[in-house]
Every structure is written in C-alpha cells, then in structure tokens.
Amino acid sequence: MLNYSLRRLAWAFPTLLLLITVAFFMIRVAPGGPFDSEKNLPPEIQQNLNAKYHLDEPLVQQYFRYLGQILRFDFGPSFQYRDWTVNQLIARGFPVSLSIGALAMLLSFTLGVGIGTMAALRQNNVLDHGLMGFAMLGISIPNFVIAPLLILVISVYWGWLPSGGWEWNWRNMVLPVITLAMPITAYIARLMRGSMIEVLHSDFIRTARAKGLSEFTVIRRHAMKPALLPVISFMGPALAGLITGSVVIEKIFAIPGIGSFFVQGAMNRDYTLVMGVVIFYGALIILFNFLVDLIYAWLNPRIHYK
Amino acid sequence: MTAACAKRICLLMFLSLLVTACGKSTDDKQSPLFSGGDEKVTDSLVLRRGNGEEPQTLDPHRATGVPSANILRDLFEGLTTETAGGNIIPGAAHRWNISADGLTYTFYLDPLGHWSNGDPVTAQDFVFGLRRSVTPETASVYAGMLAPIKNATEILAGEKMPSALGVSALEEFTLQIHLTSPTAYFLGMLNHSATYPLHQVSLRAAKGSFSHPGQLVSNGAYQLTDWAVRSFIELKKNPYYRGADSVRIETVRFYVLPDQSTEIKLFRSGALDWTNDVPIGQYQWLLENMADELVLNPWMGSYFLGFNLSREPFRGNKALRLALALAVDRDLLTEKVTRFGEQPAYALVPPGSPDYTPQEPEWASWTQAERDIAALEYYAQAGYSEDKPLVVEFRYNTSENHKKVALAVSSMWRQKLGVQSHLINEEWKVFLQNRRHKVLTQVFRAGWISDYNDPVSFLDLLTNISGNNDFAYNNEDFNSLLLQASQERIPLRRRRLLQAAEAIMIADQPLVPLYTYVTKRLVSQRLGGWQHNVMDHHYSRYMYFNDKGSESKSESESGNSSAELTTEPAAEIVEKPPAEASSEGG
C-alpha cells in the first residue's frame, strides 16, 4: 500500500508538468493580450508593461522562468488584479470556496445516500417514483434558475436571509449551499439507488438474509459499503470541482470564491491567474483521485494495491 | 461498519471545514456585509455603493477602468477637483496662475491639505507623483495623458530621466508645471488619477503592497480601511482632509458586483444605496416598479459603428458609407431597441462638452423618410443595387446589447437597401485584435467614453497618429486642424478649429454615430447631495442620508439649477447644460 501510494504521488509530478506546459502554451495562443482594451495603449507604454511582466521575452524563456517560479510556489503577480499576487488571491478566495463546497458536498452526500437507499428499498413503489422524479428535477433544473428563485422568495419577499454577499456567518451560506447541493444530491441519490438495487440482488445479501438478520442490519452491515463504491468514485472529482468554486453561484450570490477566476482570468488573458488556478485545481483533482482509490481499497476487500 | 464509514467521511469533511475556518482568521479579515437586517450595515453613516467589477488596482498611477476611478476619486485629490455637478474647481491647489503663452502653470497648494496620516500635502508630493506616473517602470496605462507636460513623452520612451519632467516645486506649497503646447483641457485633466500626488515615505516603506489597507496614505476625503478581494472595499473619513468638516458620510463601502441582476436584488432587499448599473432587459419592469429610484442621465460617451477604410468595400467609397449612415433610424433604435433613454447621435462628440457644439451633418435635421431616399441614391451611386447587393461582415463583441443593436441595424440596411450583413460575434480580446489589425474587419461596433471632458478626447481617435484609429481614417485637413487646435490657447479659436475638424470627419463618414450613452442606476431616495453630470463622477464626500426620503431629496436637488432629476421615462430625459470646465482659480 505504501509503495502504491509513493508511486502514485511520484506520478503526480509529470502529470502536473504536462498540465502546466499545455495550459501555459494554450493560454498564450489565444488571441489578444492582458493589456488590450478599447483604448489602445501607445507603443512605449505597451512596451513598458510588457517589460514589467517579462512578456517581451521569448516564449520558451518565459516558460522556464514560470517553471522556476512554480518550484518556489510563487504563481506570480496577477495581470488583472494588479495589487495582488496569484498566491494572495487564491489564499483569500479558497477558504470561501472550500466552505461552501464542502458544506454542499456534506449535505448532498447525507441527503443523496439517504434518498437513494430509501428509493432502492421501495423499488418501483410510489415513494421510489416520487423520490427519483424529484431527483430528476434536481438534475435537470440548472442552478442559475434555482438561485434567483430562492433569492426572490426567501430574501426579497420574506427577508429571511441575505440575498448575496459574503461574511463568515451561516446566514450567508445557506442559499449558496442549498443551490450548489441540489443537483449533486439528486445525482448521488440516483447513483446510490442503482448500486443499492444491484447489491441487494447479490448472493451475499441473500446469504445474510438467510442467516435471519433483520433487514436493517443487512443494509447497514452488508449492503451499504459496496453500494457506496460508485458514489465515492463520483465524489472525488466532484469534491475537487465543488471546493474550487462555481462561477454561476459566485456570480449570483456575489461570493468571493475562486471559481470566477477560471472564467475571468481566461477572458482577461490574465495568464498568471489562469495558470495558478489551473495548477491548483489540477493538484486537487490528482489528490482527490488518489484519496478515492485509498477509500475504495478500504471499502472493497477485493481491491488490493501493490 | 457502514455507519462508521459514513461517520469517518463526515468527520473528514468537518475537519477540512475546521481547517478552513481557522485559516481564514490569520490571512483574511473579512468584515460583515450584506447581512440583510443587520444593524451594522443599515447604519445611516455607511454608504453602500455597487461598483461593478473588482478594481484592477488602487495604485492611482497604474489604475484603469471605472471601478478603480470611482474609489480613487474618494481616496485622493488632484490639483483640481469637481463640484457635485461636475464643474472643475480648485482641489489640492487653491489657486493658480497661467503664463501668457499658456505654457507655464503655477499652482499654490492649500496649506490646509493633509495626508490621511496627518502630514501636510506639499508640492514635492505632486512632483514625486507626476514623475512616478511617467516613469517607464511604473508601467502606467494612462501616462500617455501627461504628454502635454514637457519631456513626458521622452521619459515614457526611456529617452530621458524622470527628473527631466517639466514639473518643479518652487516652494513647499508652490508647484510649477511646464507644457510643450497650450492645452486647453489641462486643468480638467489634473483631476485624473494619473496626476494624483503620492506620499513618498509610506510608498517606500510598504514596497510592493502600498495600496493595501493600513499601508495606503491618501490625501482625499477618505482613507482605505478594508479590502476584501472581490467582495468590497471600505473607506472611512479622513479626519485630516482639508474639508473634513463638510464630509457627512463616515464610511463608504464599494461592493464588487459585476452581475446587474445580483445588484438589483441586493438593492431591493435594502442592502445597497446606489447601484452601478441596471440589467438591460428590465427597463419596463423598473419603470413600473421602481420609477422613483431609477436614475437615467446622459453620459460623455458615444456608441457608433466603424468602417475599415483600408479595405473593400469601404475604401474610397464615401457614397456607400453615407448610404449606410443615412439608412439607420436612430430614433427607432433608441426608442425600441436600447430603450434606456439613449440620445440619437449624428456627431461623434456627445453633447455636454464645455463650449462646444457637436457637428452634425445637414441630413440630421431631415425626416427618416427623406434620409432613406437619399440613402438609396448614395447606394446606387456607390455601385450597388437590388440585383447587386452589398455583402458585408458586421463584427461585434459578445454582449446582449451589442447583439440587439447589430440585429436592428442590419435589418434596417436589409429592408431599406437590400444589404446582406453577416453578423459575427467575437470574444472581446479577439474582437479588439481584429479591429486593430484592420485585415478582417469591414463594419464593426465601437464605443468611446471620455476620460476628460473635452472634444479632443473623441476627435483624437481619428488622427493618423492615433493608436485607436481602427478605421484607417486619414484626412490631412482633419489632422492639420487638430494639430492647430493643440497649439491654440484662445478658447474661441480652438473651439472653431475643433468644430471644423469634426465637420470634415463627419462628412467623410468613417463611422456611423448611433447614440450617446446614458448612465442608468438605482439610487436610494434617502441619499442626497449627489447631482447628475455627464462624466458620471460622483464623490461620496458630497453625499448624505436624509431619512425624510424623497421629499427632502428633491429639496436638496432643486437647489442646483444645473442638475435635472431624470427618473422620468427615458424619452423625456433632459440634457444637462454643458459643464463649465474653465479655470475657477487665479
């Protein structure tokens, strides 16, 4: 297991290097530059800006300069938010995204697993159809429809919760967390129902029931663990996605997370910011996939890593 | 076992949250905001302004964009400043002398002027600021504005040292600036952030992060106290400001709200006093439900279409350009498509520039039916007809409004002339690059919002040396008139030269002016002291809360004859008389 873990971690470096290289050259290929605006800059000012940010150097030299910076965990200054470095921006935005994302995942996991299990136990029953219909609705309605509806009713009409903005306070978290959690809950519920039904039809469950165990014990002790496997493999990348912020949620609720950096950075050709968040997101995906594999081995006794 | 497994997963997530919660307190001091019914934010001494995008920087010399400029106007004060109505008045300098040849300005600073740390604002601070602005290492985007100052261009190009700039401190509170040519709009320009002074000691002490809270020392009515990135920027009253006694709002928060729908919801739930904008699709709803808060006002900005004169079909084909310009029904466009009270435009320079009459072509006074007939004649003269229609590419950048305008204009061209336009929607930076290269473009969307209130700001776009001449327009008479205007210091003569230049350009029709921009926002009826102005500059130091609401607000506004409250339907917007930008100092 230790060997496997070390090997996986060793592979993470070439993967990240590939990611950095592809992202670095792709963003540079995009037309236009970070300082383009409707008001064109005089050539001498453009030259001064390029010199300040080393954009006047050959691309390969810029690439190696950037790699050197990355080794020192320095993502460089942002081109768009000029008073801040990319490190500072991520350090300020990530806690916000992490809180909202992790809470949403916690809510989705708890509700999704519960709903999925209930639906599986009452397969093809009214409850099953009702819950799965609700789940389908949750997956189909985009969050940019749900969010404004929630804001309108709960904040504007009833005045119960703030309609947007951010502070470290549960009141500001409720609506974004619910909006973010709804489709994930629905997806997990459907996954859980499918896998639970499959597990409930397997031989070892029949054996457990034959032993005379109560249905509750059969589910809790024998069915839950294998049924969770597909949910866990979905949760790894989903969690990485959730905790790095959602552009839509951040925009609608005016939340200062890091999700908008992906879009804003690309639109503004903020090379360093885009690279920073891409590397950060890439590293998280690698980490969570690795954790999912470890949890898999723990949940499924048939899996052994060498 | 399963329950234990689920418990562990939950525990893992809680731990991550805990780490987050602990981590934030060390790095990020985020204060409460938008907390609905929270007492702290509804305190009448806190002004809550929606401010669009996150400001790029609060370094006055590197700043670009409206969000930065709005905050910097509250933080700093230039040699001149503005009244609430936008007129230029003495700022940090309480009087000045201008030499007979218009090339030397001597400013006498107000000895009461102080930085937010209590130090006096001296002439040396302005010398330092102006030199820093043109230093190549500063990489200031707006440094080009300082070109009228002696040696500024050479310093920017790295040919001279910053100390060679034509700016000197004669005495502690006396500053002298030498220009290369008499620049009529120079005093108005001294209100721009590129000319703001800086506190040398704090700048050097803070190194790279001088524009962060706790480090930034400013000389305006407010000082920076908090900056929660992409959330809000908080300013508090500067107790050392020379006019601190008249500043009534203690705290101003500029909220980062790029999404207008979010902004309007916050305003409706009482969490904002002032929005930056309103959603373009909600005009009718706003008019029906929030007419008292909706404020529309002409803005010093033009929306127009450009022709690329360096390639077919527009190269050397003035008749075709005229045909297309005539066939656009601007009244219909502004009444039915844009709908926020935009003013139909036939000239490039919008109304509102001091002592200037925008030069409209003769056909601007015709009816649209007459223009359509003339358009058909010019179209035929250009060599096109129903059988041989013009096929043209019409580029615009991604935006709901640009799309609507492009669709409307192209259908007018098709209906009246039979022109086949291919609408091409491009991402912003791609669009800018294509315009600049002048290889792919034929017809393209363009707009211009002035940084200072002078017609030159618009007319300069079309000179042969302008970096913004995406039209490839080159008329020697036009260039020469603008050059003469830049040397002319007698206002009347200068105005004639500029008007003649615009008339020549409009006759050539390298562009089709469509309308003058308007600012559109929601303003709480509790807020008083602000006034409409074409530059859309609103200083928090003039504002105050009046809990009597609209009744008192109208009283406060009726006191100023130059301001028009324009919460009426868009079509009834009244234009404000031209602002007086002339010197009010010595």
pLDDT in tens, B277-327: 998 778 888 989 999 999 999 999 999 999 999 998 999 899 999 999 999
Interface with B, mutate which of A40, A85, A94 (most B CBs under 10 A): A40
How are beta strands B294-307 and B232-237 bridged, if at all?
Answer: unpaired
Binary contact (B446, A95; C-beta < 8 A): no
pLDDT, average across residues B253-273: 90
Binary contact (B24, A168; C-beta < 8 A): yes
Binary contact (A254, B262; C-beta < 8 A): yes
Interface with B, mutate which of A49, A92, A243 (most B CBs under 10 A): A92
Binary contact (B35, A162; C-beta < 8 A): yes
Binary contact (B3, A168; C-beta < 8 A): no
Give B232's contacts in chain A (Cβ within 8 Å).
Answer: 165
Interface with B, mutate which of A36, A37, A48, A228 (most B CBs under 10 A): A48
Q: Is residue B87 part of a domain?
A: no
Give A51's contacts in chain B (Cβ within 8 Å).
Answer: 136, 139
Contact B216, B105 (CB under 8 A): no
Q: Is residue B364 part of a domain?
A: yes
Kindly state whether B29 is in contact with chain A, defined as any CB-CB distance less than 8 angstroms.
no
Interface of B with A in 333-372 (CB under 8 A): none
Q: Is residue B55 part of a domain?
A: no
At A124, which CATH number?
Answer: 1.10.3720.10
Angle at B314 between CA B313 and CA B320, to 5 degrees: 95
pLDDT in tens, B502-514: 999 999 999 999 9
The complex's ipTM? 0.82
Helix (H) or strand (E) holding B428: helix B428-437
**Does residue B119 have a pLDDT over 80?**
yes
* Of A95, A148, A160, Cβ closest to residue B28: A95
pLDDT in tens, B36-81: 334 343 445 899 999 998 898 999 998 888 899 999 999 999 999 9
Q: Is residue A268 part of a domain?
A: no
Q: Which of B25-39, B130-144, B236-250, B467-481 has the lowest mean pLDDT?
A: B25-39
Helix (H) or strand (E) holding B306: strand B294-307
Chain CA centroid to CA B190, Å: 15
Give A163's contacts in chain B (Cβ within 8 Å).
Answer: 34, 36, 262, 265-266, 268-269, 271
**Does residue B17 have a pLDDT over 70?**
no
How are beta strands B294-307 and B251-255 bridged, if at all?
Answer: unpaired
pLDDT the model gives residue B392: 94
Give B397's contacts in chain A (Cβ within 8 Å).
Answer: none
pLDDT, average across residues A248-271: 88
Kindly state whether B203 is in contact with chain A, defined as any CB-CB distance less than 8 angstroms.
no
d(CA B389, CA B462): 29
Binary contact (A35, B230; C-beta < 8 A): no
d(CA B331, CA B369): 12
Q: Is residue B244 part of a domain?
A: no
pLDDT in tens, B402-443: 999 999 999 999 999 999 999 999 988 889 889 988 989 999
d(CA B399, CA B8): 48
A-B CB pairs within 8 A amount to 215
pLDDT, average across residues B367-391: 93
Q: Is residue B482 part of a domain?
A: yes
* Of B1, B265, B428, Cβ closest to residue A163: B265
Binary contact (A49, B141; C-beta < 8 A): yes
d(CA B423, CA B370): 27
Kindly state whether B42 is in contact with chain A, defined as any CB-CB distance less than 8 angstroms.
no
Range of the domain at A173: 94-258
**Does residue B154 have a pLDDT over 50?**
yes
Q: Is residue B312 part of a domain?
A: yes
Percent of chain B at pLDDT above 90? 62
Kindly state whether B4 is in contact with chain A, defined as any CB-CB distance less than 8 angstroms.
no
Give A252's contacts in chain B (Cβ within 8 Å).
Answer: 259, 261-262
**Does residue A289 have a pLDDT over 70?**
yes
pLDDT the model gives residue A39: 73
Q: B109: pLDDT confidence band, cut at 50, 70 and 90?
A: very high
B/e letters for A18-30, b = 16+ CB within 10 Å, e = fewer, are ebbeebbeebeeb
B103 SS3 class: coil
Interface of B with A in 214-243 (CB under 8 A): 228-232
Q: Is residue A179 part of a domain?
A: yes
- 3-state SS, chain A, equals CHHHHHHHHHHHHHHHHHHHHHHHHHHHHCCCCCCCCCCCCCHHHHHHHHHHCCCCCCHHHHHHHHHHHHHCCCCCECCCCCCCEHHHHHHHHHHHHHHHHHHHHHHHHHHHHHHHHHHHHCCCCHHHHHHHHHHHHHHHCCHHHHHHHHHHHHHHHCCCCCCCCCCCCHHHHHHHHHHHHHHHHHHHHHHHHHHHHHHHCCHHHHHHHHCCCCHHHHHHHHHHHHHHHHHHHHHHHHHHHHHCCCHHHHHHHCCCCCHHHHHHHHHCCCHHHHHHHHHHHHHHHHHHHHHHHHHHHHHCCCCCCC
The number of folded domains in chain B is: 1
pLDDT the model gives residue B56: 87
At B331, which CATH number?
Answer: 3.10.105.10
pLDDT, average across residues A228-244: 86
Interface with A, mutate which of B19, B231, B253, B395 (most A CBs under 10 A): B231
pLDDT the model gives residue A159: 83
Q: Is residue B301 part of a domain?
A: yes
pTM comes to: 0.82
**Does residue B586 have a pLDDT over 80?**
no
Q: B12: pLDDT confidence band, cut at 50, 70 and 90?
A: very low
**Does residue A119 have a pLDDT over 50?**
yes
Give A177's contacts in chain B (Cβ within 8 Å).
Answer: none
Kindly state whether B265 is in contact with chain A, defined as any CB-CB distance less than 8 angstroms.
yes
What distance in Å separates residue A218's CA from the closest CA in chain B? 11
Binary contact (A224, B5; C-beta < 8 A): yes
| Residue owning tokens 């930085």 | B115
Binary contact (B34, A95; C-beta < 8 A): no
Give A299's contacts in chain B (Cβ within 8 Å).
Answer: 5
Q: Is residue A144 part of a domain?
A: yes
* Of B13, B33, B268, Cβ closest to residue A166: B33
pLDDT, average across residues B542-571: 46
What's the whole-number average pLDDT of chain B? 84
B169 SS3 class: strand
Interface of B with A in 148-167 (CB under 8 A): 153, 156-158
Kindly state whether B289 is in contact with chain A, defined as any CB-CB distance less than 8 angstroms.
no
pLDDT the model gives residue A306: 63
Q: Is residue B329 part of a domain?
A: yes
Give B153's contacts in chain A (Cβ within 8 Å).
Answer: 44
**Does residue A245 have a pLDDT over 50?**
yes
d(CA A235, CA A191): 11
Range of the domain at B10: 3-23+297-518+565-575
What's the whole-number average pLDDT of chain A? 88
Binary contact (B467, A41; C-beta < 8 A): yes
The number of folded domains in chain A is: 1
